Structure 1
């Protein structure tokens, strides 16, 4: 149960933060964000606030922000349509009733001759009862009413396509950006909780009775050399010790400015068939605000480099598709991290957030990176590609991604049953 709750929390957080980035920058650019959704499929829960419908949907496979103009507008009024109109006190149309007009006895029914809801915000036509020709101005936030469901109209200046390329690109890039920011924040929090690992070979807590303590080493000693070989980092020191199980080594240490030489013999331990040396000393941590803040950025940067390298190896064939994990594999890994404790789980969450950000920036159709690629083409051409062509490319790309997801999930299931 703990794993299920942790997985739902982690998945929801990653998707929420990603889509929140899209939503915030859509609104800042003046775009009409029709819906902010977590999940796909039928709605489980919804509420509307400030023009946007917020929904949680049944299938936990991602989320989306539906911005006006990214898809064809919902309803188009054509000559000959009969619609009912309701008005605000200032005379502007605020409801356009497409069907079930009998349920709106106060609506004025007209036969549409011309309607421009993109630029002029006007409806022209003839009153059905009096046959009088009428012209009405439409409120920029008027609603279509179809099957008693209200949908706000989107004048052209509220649509995605009306904005400059930089604003559109920023709105698309904001999702992955928020995933990187989430990782940075998580690592900063972990830094304040546990501290930041010290890079130099300084000794932390010593285990009583182990070789380091028995040899007279103390917490705070800095290892300068091992067997007259310079030691620059904690990693160098640990690797050197591990290479000498049951072999005497000589440590040159700096203890408050005094240089000492200490011989000791690492004890031999074995894990998963591997034998290595250990002296019983912990790595020190520090919690200074400057180091902790820097740690959030450096950890995110280092993990981003690692993930990008792995993606490159996958593209070049150095890594097999079998190394990829889908939802089943991620759930299985989450179970292990939950068992390891909160620190491990939060680190895993940060890693997945970085991974989500990077994957979404790949220049593939249906991903944010693919959309950014099309915006780059638009910037070069001076005009966008035809929506039908771009939509077809994204559709094909989405279908291929779903196929890849099925293959990866099948591999995950096979690995679980083969364990």
Structure 2
């Protein structure tokens, strides 16, 4: 149950902050955001606030922000259609009822001659056999189309994604992966603030209860002057001497409370990567400094970003096969292993996954954010956008191939972890 909770929290946070990036920059550009969803598939939870419906969906394989203009907008209202109209207090149209008009006894029935609910916001028709032009709604307010009892807010052209500048659209898409890097940075900073940043002082940090240091009488805060006659100036010196002397008695000359003491310690032997090393069960000293924490957060973010790109390079060059990839099942199993090591390791794992999600989404693959950005680059070079139908087809094919890859990777994970 702990692993399940940890997986849900980590997955939810990664997807939430990713989609939050899209959402914030889309709203800043004035784009109508119809839905903010975590997960895919059938809705489990739904709540509408303002213009946006916030949903949690069944399948934990991503999320999305549904922006006006990204999908086919509204059903086309053609000449000859009979529609119902409801007005606001200023006698401006605020509801257009397409069917089941009998459920709205106060609506005005209009036979449409002409309708433009995106640009001109006008409906021309024949209420009571007299032609009349009706303004759909003032720009600063909202109006909806009602079909099968479901209301969908009308998005004027200036509130649709495609009407925005190339830079605004770029930011709305790029902000998702960007937020994953920001989240990872914040997580690494929090770890450094809570756990402290290791320093290179020749001073003992936390001491494990089952190690040789505790048995010999060493204490946290002891300053090491020398070990078996070798002068010590840094923590690196301490680690080097201990590791080189497994099962060998070492004489520690320390300063504790202003007084010098001599303590004999025998490092325990441990085999690491086929090599025997000595350990005494002591951690390096740490410093809890906001500045150090921010610096460490930046270094950790850079390090793991670089490592993931290295791994991607090996995958592209064939040094790794598709079997090395992991999907939700593999991530769940890895989360289970990491959770056993404690909250800080789990936080670090979340930060690494966040960077991984950000990088994967920036790859120039159709249906991913990177694929969208690639089309924006083509638009910048050509001076005009790619035909929307052609772009949509490319993204559809890309999405289908990604789902196929997801199925293959998930099946490999199931075989690897549960059917072996």
TM-score normalised by L of structure 1: 0.88
Greater shift in the superposed pair: 224-233 or 329-338:
224-233
Q: Provide the residue aligned with 1:288 in structure 2.
A: 289
1:30-57 CA-partner distances (Å, limit 9, x unpaired)? 0000001111222221111110011111
SS at the partner of 2:119?
coil
1:194 and 1:295 map into 2 onto residues whose CA distance is 12
1:315 and 1:224 map into 2 onto residues whose CA distance is 50
2:220 and 2:101 map into 1 onto residues whose CA distance is 85
Q: 1:10 to 1:211 in 2, by over 3 A?
A: closer
Q: 1:8 to 1:207 in 2, by over 3 A?
A: closer
2:225 and 2:382 map into 1 onto residues whose CA distance is 60
Q: Is the 8 A contact 2:225 2:231 kept in 1?
A: no
Q: Provide the residue aligned with 1:258 in structure 2.
A: none
Of 130, 133, 136 in structure 2, the residue corresponding to residue 135 of structure 1 is 133
Number of equivalences: 416
Q: Provide the residue aligned with 2:116 in structure 1.
A: 116
2:238 and 2:389 map into 1 onto residues whose CA distance is 60
Greater shift in the superposed pair: 141-150 or 293-302:
293-302
Q: Is the 8 A contact 1:227 1:249 kept in 2?
A: no
1:278 deviation in Å? 2.1
SS at the partner of 1:6?
helix
1:243 and 1:360 map into 2 onto residues whose CA distance is 45
Greater shift in the superposed pair: 193-202 or 138-147:
193-202
Alignment of 1:11-410 (within 5 A): 11-127=11-127, 130-139=128-137, 140=139, 141-198=142-199, 203-205=204-206, 210=212, 219=221, 221=223, 234=236, 238=239, 241-246=242-247, 266-270=267-271, 275-410=276-411
1:218 deviation in Å? 8.4
1:74-110 CA-partner distances (Å, limit 9, x unpaired)? 3221222211111112121100111111211221111
Q: Is the 8 A contact 1:20 1:175 kept in 2?
A: yes
1:227 deviation in Å? 11
| RMSD of aligned Cα (Å) | 3.3
1:277 deviation in Å? 2.1
Structure 2, gaps ≥5 residues long: 257-262
Q: Is the 8 A contact 1:201 1:224 kept in 2?
A: no
1:280 deviation in Å? 3.8
SS at the partner of 1:56?
strand
Q: 1:154 to 1:357 in 2, by over 3 A?
A: same
SS at the partner of 1:76?
coil
Q: Is the 8 A contact 2:222 2:254 kept in 1?
A: no
SS at the partner of 2:134?
strand
Q: 1:211 to 1:118 in 2, by over 3 A?
A: closer
1:388 deviation in Å? 0.8
1:239-286 CA-partner distances (Å, limit 9, x unpaired)? 67535535689999999xxxxxx9987442236865322244311111
1:320 deviation in Å? 2.1
Q: 1:216 to 1:106 in 2, by over 3 A?
A: closer
Q: 1:295 to 1:269 in 2, by over 3 A?
A: same
Q: Provide the residue aligned with 2:260 in structure 1.
A: none
Q: 1:202 to 1:417 in 2, by over 3 A?
A: same
1:23 deviation in Å? 0.9
2:410 and 2:157 map into 1 onto residues whose CA distance is 42
2:208 and 2:2 map into 1 onto residues whose CA distance is 32
TM-score normalised by L of structure 2: 0.88
Q: 1:228 to 1:317 in 2, by over 3 A?
A: farther
1:321-357 CA-partner distances (Å, limit 9, x unpaired)? 2221111111111111222221111111111111111
1:223 and 1:404 map into 2 onto residues whose CA distance is 58
Greater shift in the superposed pair: 211-220 or 89-98:
211-220
